[in-house]
Every structure is written in structure tokens, then in C-alpha cells.
Amino acid sequence: MADHTAHVRDQLDLYLTGALDTERERHVERHLFTCPTCRVEADQASEVALELTVASAPPGDEPDPAPTIAPRP
Ligand SMILES: [Zn+2]
């Protein structure tokens, strides 16, 4: 079976979380480069991951902008 034609969908989660070893990571990257279908999947998966990260952040808790300009004498 030709491995390079197999879709990497089931590995995208692991890929996005950095859980794959270098060899598989490289394989997924190469596949994404040549396969628009899996690239879309990867985009969506990373968006979900991003939303989860944002959702887990404390709401409306922005840090005060610290003044970086020193007052002139
Ligand atoms: Zn694919």
C-alpha cells in the first residue's frame, strides 16, 4: 500500500498537539502540503484548539497596560 496517499486525518489531533514523533510529524506536514482536503481538516482542528484555549482563559480579565514611557525630567 502506498503510504503517501493515505490521509492523515486521524493523526491531525496528535500533530496539532505536538504528540507525534518527528518522523510522523514530517509525514503529516508533507501530506498537508500536497492534500487540500487534510489541510482544511487541519485548519478546522487548529481553530477548535484555539477556541478551546480562548474559552479556558479567564473572561474579562485584561491586565492593566503598564506605562513603558519614562517621564521626562
Ligand atoms: Zn489527505
End-to-end alpha carbon distance in the chain: 75
Residue 52 Cα to ligand 1 midpoint, Å, equals: 24
Q: Which among 45, 44, 12, 13 is positioned nearest to 29, based on CA atoms?
A: 12
In a domain, 70, yes or no: no
pLDDT of residue 61: 67
In a domain, 71, yes or no: no
Q: Are 41 and 8 in contact (CB under 8 A)?
A: no
Residue 62 Cα to ligand 1 midpoint, Å, equals: 40
What is the per-residue pLDDT across 13-57, written as a single tens digit (0 to 9) for each? 899 989 999 999 999 999 999 999 999 999 998 888 778 777 777
Q: How many domains does the chain have?
A: 1
pTM: 0.61
Q: What is the mean pLDDT of residues 51-68?
A: 73
Comparing 14 with 58, the larger pLDDT belongs to 14
Residue 19 Cα to ligand 1 midpoint, Å, equals: 19
In a domain, 61, yes or no: no
- Cα–Cα distance, 62 to 48 (Å, whole number): 22
Residue 73 Cα to ligand 1 midpoint, Å, equals: 63
- Cα–Cα distance, 28 to 40 (Å, whole number): 13
In a domain, 60, yes or no: no
In a domain, 28, yes or no: yes
